[in-house]
A and B are shown apart, each in its own frame.
Chain A
Amino acid sequence: MSNQVIINNAVKKYGDFTALKGVSLNIKEGEFFTLLGPSGCGKTTLLRMIAGFNSIEGGEFFFGEKLINSVPAHKRDIGMVFQNYAIFPHLNVKDNVAYGLRARKMPEEAIENKVHEALELVQISHLADRKPNELSGGQQQRVALARAFVIEPSVLLMDEPLSNLDAKLRVQMRTVIKKLQKRLGITTIYVTHDQEEALAISDRIAVMKDGNIMQVGTPAEIYAKPQNPFVAGFIGISNFIDCNVVSDNRVDINGELSVDIPLKKEYRGKAILSARPEQLFFSKEGLPGKILFSTFLGDFVEYEVRLDNGQTLTINEYTKDNSAVYENGENVFISFDPARVSVYEAESQEVLSL
C-alpha cells in the first residue's frame, strides 16, 4: 500500500462554527509535511481528524487507495506524538514503547528487540527501566517519539511536539526528528505555529488561516514567493507598502518611485507591495525617509525607517556589506530589486507578481 495521504474537501464543524472550510491536501509518500498557522486556524483539528479523534463532517480522507473516514482510531495504524507527550505514567520507558506492539500481539521476543532498537535510535536505551516521572522533558519527548514510530505506522502525526521544550532543546530535538524521519522514511504530518521550526524541518508546508489553506509549497517557495499578504506576514517579516499599478507591469509608489515589475495579468488600481527587510536597501535614490531607530544585532543592523508618506519600514543591513551605522534622524532613500518583491491586489489580496 502506498503511504500517501490524500484529503479531499475536509469539513469540520463545531455547532455553528466551521473550523475547517473544505481543505484539500495531497501528501506524498515519505514526505515531511507541516501544517503551519496561528492558533485557531484548524491545523490541530485537521490532524486529529486524520488520527480519528475528531469526527469528519465532510470530505474524504485516503491513505493510499483506502478511504479511512469510517475506520476507528485504533485501527488506522498511525503513529502519533502528542503535544504533552501523553506518556503512560504507570509504565516504565520500555513498557511505554512496547505498548503499541503488545496491542498488535507481537511475540514478546520480537517486542524486546524492536523496543531496544527504537530506544537506541532515539539514544535513550540507558533509560529503559525508568518511570516517566524520572525523565526530563527532552527524554520524555524521545520516549513519545520511539513509541510512535516503533509500530512502523504508515503515517506519523506530530502535534506541536516541541512546544513544551526550552529554546535550545527545541532546536536540538527538531534535528533529531528530521534525521529520524529521513532515515525511517515514514510519511509525516507535523503541526506547529512556529514558522521558523516549520521552515527548518519540513519538505513541504501548508500555511493555514481560519480553516482555509493559504498556500502549499516548499519552505523556499513559501518564503520567496508568498501567494498572499497573510503568508508574507506570517512567514518571516514583511514590509507592506501601498502602491498603484498604473500601466502594464508599472508600479507606482506614492508618486515618489516608479518601478517595472512583471505581473501575471492585466490589472489597474490599488495594490500592496511586500518586501522583506533584507530585500530593502539604502540607495542614492528611491523612497525618501528618515531613520527612526536602529538596533545593532551583530551580523546585521535593523533599522526602522519612517517614509515621507508616513509608512514605517523595517530594513536589515548586513554588517559585512556596510560597516557604517546610520544616525537616528538621518535622511535616507530606500530601494529594492523589483524582481524579488511581491505585489498583491489590494482588494482580493491575490498575488499579481510572477
Chain B
Amino acid sequence: MKNLTGIKFHLDFWSIVKIITIATMCLFIVYPFYTIITKSVFSTKVEGMTLYNFKRFIEKPYYYKSLFRSLFVCSCTVLTTLFIGVPVAYLMTRYNILAKKTMHILIIMSLMSPPFIGAYSWIILLGRNGLFAKLFQSIGMKAPTIYGRGGIIFVFTLHLFAYIYLYTSGAMNSIDSSLEEASENLGMNKLRRIWTVTLPVVLPSILAGCVMVFMTCLADFGTPMLLGEGYVVLPVLVYNEYMSESATDPFMASALSVVIVCCSLLMLTFQKLVIDKRNYQMSSLRPPVEIQLHGSKRFLASLPIFLVVFFASLPQIVVICQSFVERSFSGVVKGINLNNYRTIIKRLYVNIKNTYVFSFVAIVFIVVVGIFIAYILVRKKGKVANFIDMLIMFPYVIPGSVLGIGLIIAFNKKPLVLVGTAAIMIISFVIRKLPYTVRSGTAFLYQMDPFVEEASINLGVPPLKTFFTVTARMMLPGVMSGAVLSWITCINELSSSIMLYTGKTSTIAVAIYQEVVRMSDGTAAALATILTVTTIFSLLLVFRATKGKVKIV
C-alpha cells in the first residue's frame, strides 16, 4: 500500500520555507556577487568582455602590491596571535589564574568590540598628537609609530588573539585528562607530553582559529584604513577605487573584489580539506584538572594574562575616558564634561537612531529566519539543506566592503532600486550577521532530544504546530545567545555600511570613521563609547542568560 498523502506533500510548509529561503538568498547573496564577477570582466577602456582589469592588477605595482601587503599583514597577524593566544589558552585552562572568569569575559569583550575602535584609540595614544607620543617627546625620545604595517599588525593582534585563545582553550578543555595521564604513565616528561600529545590533539582547533584570524584580517577595512596611510591593503584599495572622488572605477573595484574573495576561498578550502578532516571528536569523560598554584607562583602565572588583557581592553578604556574630554579644534583640552555627548546628540542623532533601529529590525529577521534555517539544517537534512548551508557560509568569504559594492551594483537600477534606502542597510546586516544565529541555533538543536518533538506529535499535536509550540520555543534560548552576537556585530558594522550609507541612513560606525578622519576626537570617542557600552551590556546579558557558557566560535 503506497502512502498516498506523501505524493501531495510536494508543497508542504517546509518546502515553501526552503524555496523562499533559497530564493531570498540567491537574490541578496548570489546575485550581487554575480554582478561583481560580471563587472570585473568589463572596463571603460576596452570594449566587450576583457581580462584588462586583471591584467592591470598583475602589471601595476599599485595594485598587486596591495595583495602582497594584505597577505603579509594577515600572515604576520596569524603568527603574533598564535604567539599570544596559545600560551594564554594553556595558562587559562590548566592553572588557577586569578580572576579567571573576569579575564575570560574581558577577552571576549575585546574581541566583540569593533576593531576600528581599537585602531582609533591607539591613534589617541600613539598617534601624531597622541598621549604617549607627547610623553615620549617630553623626555626627548621618539615614540614608536602606530601608523603603517606595524601598527596594523599590532592592533589586529590585540584584537584577534582572542580567536586563537577561544579555539585553543575550547579544544584543551575537551581533552580527556586520561590522555595526558597515559602519556605520563608511559614515561614522558611534562614538556614532551605537551609536545607529543596535547599540541597534536588541539592542533586542528588552533589551525581553525588561524583561518578565522586570517579571514578577519583579510576582510577588515576600518583598521588599515585608519592606520595604513601609505600602506594600502586590498580592502582599502577596493574602497578607494570605488569611492574616491578623483577617479572611480567600479570595474577595477569589482576585479579587486574578486581577488579578495579568491583568497578567502582558498583559505576556506584549506580549512575544509586539511583541518576539518583531522578534527578529533572527543567526548571528555574527565575534563582536565586545573592545577592549583599558590602565592607568588599563582601570581606569576596570572601576570601574563593580566598584561595581555590590559592591552586588549585598553582601547575601550581610552575611548570611554576620551569621550568626556572636550577639546578645541587644535586639540587643546578645554575641560572634562559631557559636551561631546551633547554635540553628537544634536548633530548625529540620526546616526544613533539608525544604528539601533536598523540593528533591531535586522535582529528580528535574523531570529525568525535563523530558527527556520537551523531547523532545516539539522532536522531536514538533504541536498537542499546542504545548499542552504553553503549559502549561509557565503558571507564568511565575502568581505563586507565587497558585499556592499555588490549590493549597490545589483540594486541601483530597476526593477529593484534599493540603494540609499534603509532596507539595503538592513539586508546587508541580516546577510552578514545571520551565521552567528544559525550556528548557535544548530548547535543547540543537535543537543536537543528529537524524541521530544515526536512525543508531541504522538500526543496528537500536528508536526507544524509542534514546531511552533515545542521546538521553536525550546530553541529560543539557544538562538538568542547567537542573536545577541549578531546584534553586537550589527551595531558595530562598518565595512559594508561605509559603502551603502547615505546621509539619511548613516550609522554610528560610519560617523566614527568620518569624525576620526576629520580629526574630531571628542565626538568620535563619545560615539565609540555608546557602541562600547552597548556591546558590554549586551555581552553581560548573554553571559548571565547562558551562565557564562556562550559560544563565540
- Chain A contacts for B455, CB-based, 8 A: 80, 82, 86-88, 147
Tell me whether B3 is interfacial, beta carbon within 8 Å.
yes
Task: State the Cβ distance, A3 to closest chain B Cβ, in Å.
Answer: 17
Q: Is A243 an interface residue (CB 8 A)?
A: no
Given A51-B458, A90-B473, A100-B460: A72 and B5 interface contact (C-beta under 8 Å): yes
Q: Are B463 and A74 neighbours in the complex by a CB distance under 8 Å?
A: yes
User: With A53-B454, A86-B452, A89-B474 in contact, do A70 and B459 touch (Cβ < 8 Å)?
Assistant: no
Name the one of A52, A60, A78, A88 contacting B1, with C-beta atoms under 8 angstroms: A60
Q: Which of B4, B449, B458, B474 contacts A74 (CB 8 A)?
A: B458
From B459, B463, B474, contact of A147 by CB (8 A): B459
B458 touches A84 (CB 8 A): no
Q: A70-B1, A70-B4, A90-B474 are in contact. Are A151 and B459 (CB under 8 A)?
A: yes
Q: Does A56 sit within 8 A of B, measured CB to CB?
A: yes
A53: nearest residue on chain B (CB-CB)?
Answer: B454
Closest Cβ–Cβ distance, residue B439 to chain A (whole Å): 22
CB distance from A78 to the nearest CB of B (A): 6
Q: Which of B1-21 contact A (CB under 8 A)?
A: 1, 3-6
Question: Do the beta carbons of A104 and B460 come within 8 Å of each other?
Answer: yes
- Mark each residue of chain B from 1 to 43: 1 if its CB lies under 8 Å from any CB of chain A, else 0: 1011110000000000000000000000000000000000000
Chain A residues lying within 8 Å of B451, measured Cβ to Cβ, are 82-84, 86
Q: What is the CB-to-nearest-CB distance from B381 to chain A, in angstroms, rounded to a whole number?
A: 14
Interface string of A53-76 (1 = CB under 8 A from B): 101100010000001011011111
Chain B's interface size range is: 20 to 34
**A77 CB-CB contact with B under 8 Å:** yes
Q: Does A99 contact B (CB under 8 A)?
A: yes
Report whether A78 and B458 are in contact in the complex, using a CB–CB cutoff of 8 Å.
Answer: yes
Residue pair B449, A84 in contact (C-beta under 8 Å):
yes
Nearest Cβ on chain A to B273's Cβ, whole angstroms: 27
Chain A residues with CB under 8 Å of B466's CB are 74
Residues of A within 8 A of B314 (CB): none
The CA-CA distance from A54 to B459 in the complex, in Å, is 16
Whether A103 pairs with B459 at a CB distance below 8 angstroms is yes
With both beta carbons as reference points, the residue of chain A lying nearest to B450 in the complex is identified as A86
| Cβ contacts under 8 Å, B503 to chain A | none
- Give which listed residue, B1, B458, B462, B470, contacts A80 with CB less than 8 A: B458
Given contacts A89-B474, A90-B474, contact A100 B1 (CB under 8 A): no
Query: Which residues on B sit within 8 Å (CB–CB) of A89?
Result: 452, 474
Given the known interface contacts A80-B455, A86-B451, the answer about A103 and B461 at a Cβ–Cβ threshold of 8 Å is yes
User: How many A residues touch the partner, as a band?
Assistant: 20 to 34
Question: Once A and B bind, how many residue pairs between them come within 8 Å at the CB atom?
Answer: 77
Q: Does A226 contact B (CB under 8 A)?
A: no
A67 near B460 with CB under 8 A, answer no
Whether B456 is near chain A, meaning CB under 8 Å from some CB there, is: yes
Q: How far is the CB of B197 from chain A (nearest CB, A)?
A: 34
Query: CA–CA, A88 to B466, complex, Å?
Result: 11
Q: In whole angstroms, what is the CA distance A60 to B451 when docked? A: 25
Pairwise interchain contact A77-B460, C-beta atoms closer than 8 A: yes
CA distance A89 to B449 in the complex (A): 10
Give bound CA distance, A293 to B449, whole Å: 47
A52 to chain B, nearest CB (A): 8
Residues from 431 to 469 in B contacting A, C-beta threshold 8 Å: 449, 451-452, 454-463, 466
Cβ contact of B459, chosen from A53, A60, A100, cutoff 8 A: A100
Chain A positions within 8 Å of B460 at CB level: 74-75, 77, 100, 103-104, 151
A174 CB, min distance to chain B CBs, angstroms: 21
In the assembly, what is the distance between CA of A147 and CA of B461, in Å? 14
Whether the Cβ atoms of A56 and B470 lie closer than 8 Å is: no
Bound-state Cα–Cα, A76 to B461, Å: 11
Contact B1 A86, beta carbon cutoff 8 Å: no
Which residues of chain A are near B449, meaning CB under 8 Å? 84, 86
Contacts of B463 in A (CB 8 A): 72-74
- Please give me the residue from chain A that is nearest to B476 by CB atom: A90
Does chain B have a CB within 8 A of A229?
no
Shortest distance between the CB of B455 and any CB in chain A (Å): 4
- The reply to whether B459 and A69 form a contact with Cβ atoms under 8 Å apart is no
A88 and B452 in contact, given A74-B458, A100-B459, A103-B460 (Cβ under 8 angstroms) = yes
In the complex the two chains form, what is the Cα distance from A69 to B456 in whole Å? 20
Please tell me which one of the listed residues A67, A73, A83 contacts residue B458 in the complex, with CB atoms under 8 A apart.
A73
Which of B3, B4, B6, B456 contacts A88 (CB under 8 A)?
B456
Decide if A79 is an interface residue (CB 8 Å cutoff).
yes
Bound-state Cα–Cα, A89 to B1, Å: 38
Return the chain B residue nearest A81 by Cβ.
Answer: B455
Which residue from chain A places its CB closest to the CB of B452 in the assembled complex? A86
The answer on a CB contact under 8 Å between B457 and A74 is yes
B474: nearest residue on chain A (CB-CB)?
A90
Considering the complex, which residues of chain B in the window 120-163 have a beta carbon less than 8 Å from any beta carbon of chain A?
A: none
Residues of B near A78 (CB, < 8 A) are 458
Give B223 Cβ to nearest chain A Cβ, in Å. 43
Residues of B within 8 A of A72 (CB): 5, 462-463
- On whether A82 and B474 interact (CB within 8 A), knowing A77-B460, A151-B460, the answer reads no
Alpha-carbon distance between A56 and B461 when the two chains are bound, in angstroms: 21
Listed residue (B5, B456, B460) with the most chain A CB atoms within 10 angstroms of its CB: B460
Residue from A74, A77, A80, A86 within 8 A of B461 (CB atoms): A74
In the assembled complex, the Cα of A157 lies from the Cα of B454 at a distance in Å of 13
Q: Is the CB of B456 within 8 A of A79?
A: no
Q: Min CB distance, B2 to chain A, in Å?
A: 8
A104: chain B residues at CB < 8 Å are 460
- Which B residues are in CB contact (< 8 Å) with A75? 460
Looking at the complex, which one of B3, B5, B454, B457 makes contact with A56 (CB distance below 8 Å)? B3
Contact of B3 among A55, A73, A83 (CB under 8 A): A55
Minimal beta-carbon separation of A135 from chain B (angstroms): 15
Distance A232 CA – B31 CA, assembled complex (angstroms): 67
Closest to B461 in A: A103
Question: CB-CB < 8 A to A69: which residues of B?
Answer: 1, 3
Interfacial chain B residues near A67, Cβ < 8 Å:
1
In the assembly, what is the distance between CA of A78 and CA of B455, in Å? 10
B9 to chain A, nearest CB (A): 10
The chain A residue with its CB closest to the CB of B454 is A53
Within 8 A of B (CB), among A136-180: 147, 151
Chain B neighbourhood of A53, CB < 8 A: 454, 457
Quick check: A86 and B454 within 8 Å, CB to CB?
yes
Could you say which of B459, B462, B474 contacts A99, with CB atoms under 8 Å apart? B459
Q: Give the CA-CA distance A53 to B466 in the complex, in Å.
A: 14
Quick one: which of B5, B6, B452, B458 has the most chain A CB within 10 A? B458
**Quick one: CB contact mask for A99-137 with B, threshold 8 Å, 1 for yes?**
110011000000000000000000000000000000000
Nearest A residue (CB) for B470: A88
Most buried by A among B459, B462, B470: B459
Q: Which residues of B contact A80 (CB under 8 A)?
A: 454-455, 458
CA of A60 to CA of B462, assembled, Å: 23
User: Contacts of B458 on A, CB cut-off 8 Å?
Assistant: 51-52, 73-74, 76, 78-80
- When chains A and B are docked, how far (Å) is the Cα of A166 from the Cα of B457? 29
Q: Which chain A positions have C-beta within 8 A of B473? A: 90
B1 touches A99 (CB 8 A): no
A60 CA to B460 CA, complexed, in Å: 22
By a CB distance below 8 angstroms, the chain B residues around A77 are 460
Q: Which residues from chain B sit less than 8 Å from chain A, CB to CB?
A: 1, 3-6, 449, 451-452, 454-463, 466, 470, 473-474
A75-B460, A80-B454 known; 19 other A-B pairs, CB under 8 Å?
A: A60-B1, A67-B1, A70-B3, A72-B462, A72-B463, A73-B454, A76-B458, A82-B451, A82-B454, A86-B449, A86-B452, A88-B455, A88-B474, A90-B473, A99-B461, A100-B459, A100-B460, A103-B461, A151-B460
Pick 11 A–B contacts, CB within 8 A, sort by A: A52-B458, A74-B457, A74-B462, A74-B463, A74-B466, A80-B454, A86-B455, A90-B474, A100-B459, A103-B461, A147-B459
A interface residues (Cβ-Cβ under 8 A, vs B): 51-53, 55-56, 60, 67, 69-70, 72-80, 82-84, 86-90, 99-100, 103-104, 147, 151
Enumerate the 3 nearest inter-chain pairs by beta-carbon distance, A residue then B residue, closest first: A100-B459, A86-B451, A103-B460
